[in-house]
Structure 1
Amino acid sequence: MNIRQIRATPVNITFRAPYRFSYGAIASLTKTVIEVETEDGVIGLGECADGDRAADVVAMGAKLIGHDVREIGTAEAKTVPGMRYTPWGNVLAARRVFGGIEMAMWDARGKTEGVSLATLLGGARRDRIELTEYFSYRWPGIDPGECSPTEVARYCASMIERHGSTRFEGKMGTVDLAEEVHMVAEVRAAIGDRPLQLDANGVWTVPTAREALRRVAPFDISWFEEPCETYEEMARLRRFSDIPFSAHSIDLPKAHALGCPEAIVTNINEHGGIARTVAFIRACEMFGVGFRFHSGETGIASAAYLHLTAALDHVRDPSQTLFHWYADDVIEGGPHRHDGGFVALPHGPGLGVTLDRAALARCHQRYLDEGPFPDGRKGGYGGQFRKR
């Protein structure tokens, strides 16, 4: 099970229509697909979530040639600084890169042993994983997009009709608050009593967030993700709202101390791989803080978080997904099927997915043509984030 070679390919996974959120807009997700090949010819798949990290993956991978894919701890010790901060390197970047390689090591091990990742983690407790259905304002693309509250509500109704969607989560903080409250009202009417969650990506100040929470409260909001940016700001809001909050930033001791946010929503890379994500989820369970996975990975990392969700009972609330927005993917069969509100746990050894070489080449060429995280509109991605 020793590593012979590590390859990395940056790709763009295009959306059917560019979606809008508080940071700006995004037309394609930029990810780095990782292949860890063993001396036996087994290829494990992994992914870096934060753009083009191919050069970093190859440089780190050179230190792991000949290393046994089962020895996760010693591989991390070889490649990731053993401190939270060092002036001679970027610890967070190293942790993210290793997390992608480590994912591929788990996949290679599972394929070699002929068992799934969920089995390696102790066994699957469920074989169908419930996920949310996303909505937002979207610019025209392959799909016409949605640019009004009525159009967003019609989109949500169509997802129920076409896919049996059971739970919805939508972006706020992109247009005028009054218009967005109207959107929430229209969506609530369209989806009936199905759970409804909202996400502002931390764009609002405390006064704006307080007003927004007051105005959406009549529509029975199950969760609100990042109405403000910091834990302290969300704790201040707790006096005015009983809607549970979630956040992407990771500070479990602070979440426990403040009692807010009630859940942390991240990906596998952010923790430094599958092993550390499992340890973090178990710590969340001990401290009574919820955990969910966020959206925006290729089918590779998405398969990994489906296996973790299946194996770990503490990941109870539905995680996020954008599968119905994807127009492409790098795995055989395309994006994971999300019907009836659930995605089936991938079957087969390791992650249970297979790389589609033609799709990988196509998505890599798209990255070369578009650049990282294109917004689909003239002027480039980002630049719109500001507190309101």
Structure 2
Amino acid sequence: MGRDLKISAVRVTPIAFRDGPLLNAAGIHEPWALRAIVELESSDGRVGLSETYGDAPMLAVLAQAKDVVLGLSPFDLNAMEQRVRAAVRPVAGAVEFELAPGSHAAKNVPKLISALEVAMLDLQGQVVGAPVVDLLGGKVRDAVPYSAYLFFKYAEHIDRPYAPDAWGEGLSPEQIVAQAKRMIDLYGFRSIKLKGGVFAPAHEIACMQALHAALPGLPLRLDPNANWSLPTAIAAAPELDTLLEYYEDPTPGLAGMAELAKHTALPLATNMVITTLEEFRRGAASGAVKVLLSDHHYWGGLRVTQTLARMCALWDLGLSMHSNSHLGISLIAMTHIAASIPNLTYACDTHYPWQEEEVIEGGRVRFEDGAVRVPETPGLGVTLDRRRLAELHAQYLDCGVRQRDDLAQMKKYDPTFTGSTPRF
């Protein structure tokens, strides 16, 4: 049945969608976030989907190797991987951010493998009449919990390309608490993460204290994105030990995290110092990190994420998932893989509540009690809204952004901002 099918066409459509003025250690989000929608069409007319990074370097990688799957069966995942590894060559000009491993050129191969694998799994599910989670061994949970992802933010972008979002300013402890309450009211989240590394640690700790007082019992996380020096992270530990669920990437490097671990009762979490299997080997041996945030987009796909989960179980590490600005195809892919992992011990990160637009039929993915239900329809369980795809592609053509640059955007607000880390 499926072996006779061949992948007959590959389409890559870059899109841009509105993204809020969200602050982080590297600067501030630009008004437009970039993604690429990948379609693999089979010889019988089915279409498998995936969503990946949409910056210019990633589009160049996709252009290099997108045709390697032509003529393959959707089930030929190993052959696809071999062809990708043979085809991908270095791409110049990437702007790399330490806080965003998906921007690293060294991950071009796993990023491309992931983009093609998800679409091929979508096709496989459609062929056999099963959701992707069943191709991954079956679900261990019916719905996947996600965490409210709070950001310090301005009320609107400095260049005002469109009307301000409904969230308003988020700078003070009171505003951060209001942001959390609104997000919980809208989506039902049962844990909270704040993107830190923006203001002096005392201010960010005050925000966590305010959240703890306003929302007692909800697990809290703070992610300074390695923007605190080791002495600063150590000094902050006693106050945070009583507040947090885990302490995520406060200070740079595995050695720094290992030293910090001696000074805190909290488990240390990362999506920065362990982003490859080689880094996993070193990190596990050090014993410094106790919670790993995976990301199928740059680890190399859904199957590798399952392997990573088994390694975490072997080394007694907790597991969650990292997020970047994304739309519903990525959210649903995350949900399928997370539903197949028994030892997913923490709610997953997602930027999705910050995104207002969508490219799938039916509109925005729904959260119920802070979780996304696992689709039961074949494949990923989503289809493209081609009218919206065309509109978001037109926004890409018009917006002028071709690769994410939070530093350059921040310089529009503060010309003296350097983005150097650790800053505190």
Inter-CA distance 60–24: structure 2 relative to 1 (3 Å threshold)? same
Distance 1:263 1:379 in 2: 36
Contact 1:23 1:384 in 2 (8 A): yes
Give the CA deviation at 1:341.
1.8
The within-5 A match list for 1:164-243 is 164-218=188-242, 220-243=243-266
Give the CA deviation at 1:383.
5.3
Aligned residue among 82, 102, 106 for 2:117: 102
Q: Are 1:152 and 2:152 matched, yes or no?
A: no
Give the CA deviation at 1:347.
2.9
Contact 1:133 1:321 in 2 (8 A): yes
| 3-state SS of 1:292 partner | strand
- In the other structure, the counterpart of 1:368 is 397
Q: Are 1:353 and 2:382 matched, yes or no?
A: yes
Inter-CA distance 191–280: structure 2 relative to 1 (3 Å threshold)? same
| 3-state SS of 1:6 partner | strand
Contact 2:130 2:376 in 1 (8 A): no
- In the other structure, the counterpart of 1:130 is 145
Distance 2:350 2:165 in 1: 19
Contact 1:331 1:354 in 2 (8 A): yes
| 3-state SS of 2:263 partner | coil
- Stretches of structure 2 that go unaligned for 5 or more consecutive residues are 93-104, 156-163
Aligned residue among 46, 51, 55 for 2:55: 51
Give the CA deviation at 1:39.
0.7
The residue identity in structure 1 corresponding to 2:348 is: S
Contact 2:84 2:112 in 1 (8 A): no
- In the other structure, the counterpart of 2:84 is 79
Contact 1:11 1:363 in 2 (8 A): yes
Aligned residue among 25, 37, 42 for 2:41: 37
- Worse-superposed segment, 249-258 or 370-379: 370-379
- Worse-superposed segment, 257-266 or 50-59: 50-59
- In the other structure, the counterpart of 1:335 is 364
Inter-CA distance 225–274: structure 2 relative to 1 (3 Å threshold)? same
Give the CA deviation at 1:245.
1.3
Q: Are 1:22 and 2:55 matched, yes or no?
A: no
| 3-state SS of 2:9 partner | strand
Inter-CA distance 47–164: structure 2 relative to 1 (3 Å threshold)? closer
Give the CA deviation at 1:88.
10
- In the other structure, the counterpart of 1:278 is 306
- Stretches of structure 1 that go unaligned for 5 or more consecutive residues are none
| 3-state SS of 1:80 partner | helix
Distance 1:309 1:76 in 2: 22
Q: How many residues align?
A: 384
Give the CA deviation at 1:328.
0.9
Normalization by structure 1: what TM-score?
A: 0.92
Contact 1:210 1:237 in 2 (8 A): yes
- In the other structure, the counterpart of 2:421 is 386
| 3-state SS of 1:134 partner | strand
| 3-state SS of 2:28 partner | strand
- In the other structure, the counterpart of 1:261 is 289
| 3-state SS of 2:125 partner | helix
Distance 1:273 1:137 in 2: 31
Give the CA deviation at 1:13.
3.1
The residue identity in structure 2 corresponding to 1:281 is: A
Normalization by structure 2: what TM-score?
A: 0.84
Contact 1:307 1:345 in 2 (8 A): yes
Distance 2:258 2:289 in 1: 7
Contact 1:374 1:380 in 2 (8 A): no
RMSD after superposition = 2.5
- In the other structure, the counterpart of 2:96 is none
Distance 2:292 2:54 in 1: 18
| 3-state SS of 2:144 partner | strand
| 3-state SS of 1:34 partner | strand
Give the CA deviation at 1:374.
6.6
- In the other structure, the counterpart of 1:307 is 336
Query: Stretches of 4+ moved more than 4 A in 1?
Result: 85-91, 374-378, 380-383
The residue identity in structure 2 corresponding to 1:316 is: T
| 3-state SS of 2:343 partner | coil
Inter-CA distance 292–385: structure 2 relative to 1 (3 Å threshold)? farther
Give the CA deviation at 1:229.
2.2
Contact 1:69 1:108 in 2 (8 A): yes
| 3-state SS of 2:412 partner | coil
- 1:24-73 deviations in whole A, cap 9, x for unaligned? 11144322110011111110001223634234223312222101110101
- 1:297-342 deviations in whole A, cap 9, x for unaligned? 3211221111111111022311111222111122223332223121
Give the CA deviation at 1:243.
1.0
Inter-CA distance 81–224: structure 2 relative to 1 (3 Å threshold)? farther
Give the CA deviation at 1:124.
1.1
Distance 2:52 2:224 in 1: 24
